[in-house]
Amino acid sequence: MTFVDWVAEPVNWAFLLIGVGMLGAAFRVVTSQNIVHAALYLVAALGGAAAMFVLLSAEFVALVVVLVYIGAVIVLFLFGVMITRAPTGLDVALDNDRKIPAALVALVLFGVMSFTSLTAFQATPVAEVGTPTSTATLAEGFIGRFVVPFEVVGFILLAALVGGVTLARRDLTPLEEEQRRSV
């Protein structure tokens, strides 16, 4: 498959548009000097991921990403940012001084991964795009073959809930405890 054939497919224009926007947003997430901006750029990057899932006819996963990540996780991040850093404006020292080695590591990693996938799946097409995976199929997977992992994930969520409450709660000092008892 030549590049001309590839570009001739209109769906690949959508891919290019979303992909470039997504990578730009991801780049800003890791380089932006303003934490709040970085968290908001993550919304764009994850929205791009959701759009990719729609392109791959995985609508349910796309909606889960929008609900869980864009709806809940980003809000959590913004809370975390606002609690751990009172002045949310520009900060000079958001990065450490090892940018060049880190960029080298990332580039080598990207090179190895893309080389491997290029040699392994040269022009393998994505099978029959456009037939969405029905939610019923996913549900059968969840309560059929993957019922044990499903329950384990539910337990992990419960443990995270309890653990989050326990960690974030402020313990009373002995003096405060004494005062509370005397009331």
Partner 1 sequence: MIVNQFLILAAALFALGVYGLLVRRNAVMVLLSIELMLAAVNINLVVFEAMWRTSEAVGQVFAIFVITVAAAEVGIGLAIILMIFRNRQSANVDELDLMRW
Answer for the pair 123, 1: CB distance below 8 angstroms, yes or no.
yes
In the complex with partner 1, the residue whose CB is nearer, 171 or 181, is: 171
In the complex with partner 1, the residue whose CB is nearer, 113 or 178, is: 113
Closest distance of CB 96 from partner 1, Å: 5
Closest distance of CB 62 from partner 1, Å: 9
Q: How far apart are CA 101 and CA 161, in angstroms?
A: 37
In the complex with partner 1, the residue whose CB is nearer, 4 or 121, is: 121
Closest distance of CB 182 from partner 1, Å: 26
In the complex with partner 1, the residue whose CB is nearer, 89 or 125, is: 125
Q: DSSP secondary-structure letter at 171?
A: P
For residue 60, give Cα distances in angstroms to 23, 70, 136, 139, 140: 23, 15, 10, 11, 14
Centre a 10 Å sphere on the Cβ of residue 123 and count the other Cβ atoms it contains: 9
Closest distance of CB 46 from partner 1, Å: 6
